[in-house]
Structure 1
Amino acid sequence: MLRIVKWALTAAPFIYMALIWFMSSNPADMVIKMDDEWFDRTFKESLHLVEFAILYVLFILALLAHDRLTYAASFAAALAAGFYGLTDEIHQSFVPYRSATLIDAAKDLFGVAVCLLIVNRTYFRNKNHAIARGMEKVRVKLNG
């Protein structure tokens, strides 16, 4: 069972990246369109703050699953998530009905940076923090 969980956590960031690519290859209202146009746009724009932060967290979980999370690996995961965010913005610039802006790219990078800061301030500097304890439980459970 643990082998399946490790495999799933390893595959999760790449499956998520494919999902991001698929979603950004289609019109923004493909999945959901809310009646209030202002709210629809505001909600979807705010997702930039979490979309690539989630990707970073998935990379962190994959590293924990293999007991490979170090400060350098955490930073590399942030770079990978941020770079993928920039790649996605470039990709969207070629998709009809989609847009790519520097503000969107900045929001993508900001979300990743916040999560990087949280992981580095808790897991690496404050092992007693609830987030660090939870991450350590995942690492120990999957690696013994």
Structure 2
Amino acid sequence: MNRKARTALTAGVLAVALGLGATAQAASAGTPRSVSGKTSDNITRIADFYGTYIDAMNDEGSVKLRAALREHYLTPAFQKELNAWEKRNHANGVLRAQNVPLAWKVTDNGTADHTEAVITLTWGKSHPTKLVVDMTRGSHKIFHIGEKGIGGK
């Protein structure tokens, strides 16, 4: 098998393992990708939080960063609630898990009085976990994280 064929096969296997669709395969095979957002947009803020938090979970010695992210993005009341949840469940409350996902996606779930997003966490070959995250429109702080369909919304 030549190098080009091996590269295409490897990209295809990785795409299947990570659950990427054909569009994502083609775009990542040489076409530059872009990510955009707006500081005033709560979905962008939620995506920024999850992306940075997951990176901090993967980086050794970033306990202070994770604490700072929680302080910046979560309401004080929810921080207390999350700490209590973690003690009861022996897991990370932001991720609702004991390990770190390989990928994440944030989708606007739409509401009138606050922003609600569905976070899809991909762990590998297993089925993804879906979380519901609610953020205030005024303070831009997360006040709820729950498992979709299980104690969530």
**What is the TM-score of this pair, normalised by structure 2?**
0.28
Higher relative contact order structure (alpha carbons within 8 Å, sequence separation ≥ 6): 1
Q: Which has the higher strand share?
A: 2
**What is the TM-score of this pair, normalised by structure 1?**
0.30
